[in-house]
Chains A and B, each alone.
Chain A
Amino acid sequence: GAVVSQHPSRVICKSGTSVKIECRSLDFQATTMFWYRQFPKQSLMLMATSNEGSKATYEQGVEKDKFLINHASLTLSTLTVTSAHPEDSSFYICSARDEAGNTEAFFGQGTRLTVV
C-alpha cells in the first residue's frame, strides 16, 4: 500500500524555538495532506488541511501564525511550530489521500514533540 513518511519521529526543543516536521508521500501524489494533533489517550484532532500550491485551511481555534504549513510539492508538506511552548508538546500526525479516487487515508508514523 501507499506509504506516508513523517520526520522526525521524536524531537525535543527549547521554549521559544521553532520546529519543522516533514510529511512525505512516497509512492503517490497528494494534492491534499492533513495535519492532526493527538494528546495522550485521546483521539486525533484535525488542525489543518494542507493544499499543494495554495494556503492551508485551518480548523477553528488553530492559530495559523503559530502552526505554519507549507505544501510546496505534490509529495511534501511541512508543519512548523513557531515559538514553541511546553503546552505545544504533543503527538503530531500527518495523513494524505491518494488523489486517484481512493478513499483510504494513509498516515505517517507521527512526531512526538516535547518542548522544555
Chain B
Amino acid sequence: TQLLEQSPQFLSIQEGENLTVYCNSSSVFSSLQWYRQEPGEGPVLLVTVVTGGEVKKLKRLTFQFGDARKDSSLHITAAQPGDTGLYLCAASFTGGGNKLTFGTGTQLKVEL
C-alpha cells in the first residue's frame, strides 16, 4: 500500500506570510495532483504534474515535482484568508491503474 505523507498537518498563519506544504512518498508517482477542499464540498483540482523536476505556477501558488518523482511541494506566497482550506496531494502510482491515493492532508488557516 502506497502512503503519501503531507507536512505540516496543520498550519495557522497571518495574512501576507509565505508557506510551503510538502508531500512525500517512498514510491515513484506516475502523476501527482494538488487539490484544495473546503468544508462540505468535494476537492477542487489546483494542478497536475507529471514530469520530474517540473515547476508550475498558478498566481501566488508554486508547485514543484521532485526530480525522482517521489515528492512534491506547494508554496504559497503572501497568503490570504481566501487560501484557507484543506490542501491534499494525490498521486497515481505505476501499476495502480487509474486509482488515486490521497495524502494525509494539510489544514491551512490564514488569519487577518
For B42, give its contact among A97, A104, A107 (CB under 8 Å): A107
Q: In the complex, which residue of chain A has the Cβ closest to the Cβ of B42?
A: A107
Q: How many residues of A contact B (CB 8 A)?
A: 26
Cross-chain contact B42 with A108 (CB below 8 angstroms): yes
Q: Return the contact of A104 from the options B40, B48, B99, B102 (Cβ within 8 A).
A: B48
By a CB distance below 8 angstroms, the chain A residues around B100 are: 34, 46, 95, 105
The CA of A36 and the CA of B42, in the complex, are separated in Å by 10
* Total interface residues in chain B, CB < 8 Å: 26
State whether A34 and B99 are in contact (beta carbons under 8 Å apart), knowing that A108-B42, A110-B42 are contacts in the complex: yes
Give the tally of cross-chain contacts (CB within 8 A): 62
Q: Which A78-116 residues sit within 8 Å CB-CB of chain B? A: 91, 93, 95, 97, 103-110, 112
Measured CA separation A41–B40 after assembly (Å): 11
Interface residues of B (CB under 8 A from A): 1, 31, 33, 35, 40-45, 48, 50, 86, 88, 90, 92, 97-105, 107
Residue of A nearest to B90 (CB): A105
14 examples of A-B residue contacts, CB within 8 angstroms: A6-B42, A36-B102, A42-B105, A44-B102, A45-B102, A46-B99, A46-B101, A95-B42, A97-B98, A103-B33, A103-B50, A105-B100, A107-B43, A110-B40
Taking the closest CB of chain A, its distance from the CB of B75, in whole angstroms, is 20
- Given contacts A103-B50, A106-B45, could you give 17 more A-B pairs where the C-beta distance is less than 8 Å? A4-B42, A6-B42, A32-B97, A34-B100, A43-B102, A44-B88, A45-B102, A46-B101, A46-B102, A49-B97, A49-B98, A95-B100, A103-B33, A103-B92, A105-B33, A105-B100, A110-B41
